[in-house]
Amino acid sequence: MKRELDAGKLGEPGLIRIHHWEAGGEVDAAHQLPVLLLQQIDVILWLMGKPPTLVYAVQHEEAAKSHLGRYLQVHLGFPGGTMALLVYSNRLPSGDPYRSLHVIGSAGAAYTDEQQNMQLLYKGGQARGVIAAEKPAGGHDHAGITQDWKNVLAVADAVQRSLASRQAVSLEGH
């Protein structure tokens, strides 16, 4: 999917959406956010190649208060009007986690999930399914570069501020 985006075959990205559902999950002590949520933020930033300018996050309040798990939605706004939506839940019953990734561009769309490790590419005409050897985050060393990790942490800080204030947080100038 990253190669398709980089080659311009999907056009300019308009929407990136990730669903990540798991049972339990480790929490990052510094941000009080699930570690796998941070990894998925990293995937979005890797696909976009730049940090967002706006972050808005919401969570299911009753789930958070009852300690039954978390259900979070993180909305990221990028320059040029692109947006990303990350839906995370650690309320899945024990078993296999589920991740899916959708990219909708100005000239095509792509979808991948972990269940069948299938990617679906659509650029007009017939949709084409591709069985991939990678997972939705495959091919990317999570935050292997210092600046990438700094961008992920800046977004994580903005997510926490947005959850606390219940308002969008600007990252303009970061």
For the chain, how big is the Rg over CA atoms in Å? 16
Q: How confident is the model at residue 64 (pLDDT cuts 50, 70, 90)?
A: low
pTM attached to this predicted model:
0.75
* pLDDT per residue as tens digits for the range 6-17: 889 899 899 999
Q: Which domain range does residue 143 map to?
A: 2-156
Pairwise CA distance, residues 13 & 114, whole Å: 22
Please name the amino acid found at residue 27.
V
How many domains in the chain? 1
Task: Please check whether residue 172 lies inside any domain of the structure.
Answer: no
* pLDDT per residue as tens digits for the range 27-37: 777 767 888 88
* pLDDT per residue as tens digits for the range 82-99: 999 999 888 776 766 778
Task: Please check whether residue 95 lies inside any domain of the structure.
Answer: yes
Task: Please check whether residue 136 lies inside any domain of the structure.
Answer: yes
Task: Please check whether residue 94 lies inside any domain of the structure.
Answer: yes
Task: Please check whether residue 121 lies inside any domain of the structure.
Answer: yes
CB of 101 closer than 8 Å to CB of 1: yes
Rounded to an integer, what is the distance from CA 35 to the centroid of its chain? 12
Rounded to an integer, what is the distance from CA 59 to the centroid of its chain? 15
For 174, the token pair is 């970061």
Please name the amino acid found at residue 165.
S
For residue 122, CA distances in Å to 1, 86, 100, 104 come to: 11, 21, 16, 9
Task: Please check whether residue 124 lies inside any domain of the structure.
Answer: yes
What is the DSSP-derived secondary structure letter of residue 49?
T
- CATH code, domain carrying 56: 3.30.360.10
* pLDDT per residue as tens digits for the range 46-55: 999 889 999 9
* pLDDT per residue as tens digits for the range 116-139: 555 545 555 555 555 555 444 445
pLDDT for position 135: 43
Parallel, antiparallel, or unpaired: how do β-strands 83-89 and 13-21 relate? parallel
Task: Please check whether residue 171 lies inside any domain of the structure.
Answer: no
Task: Please check whether residue 169 lies inside any domain of the structure.
Answer: no
Q: How confident is the model at residue 62 (pLDDT cuts 50, 70, 90)?
A: low
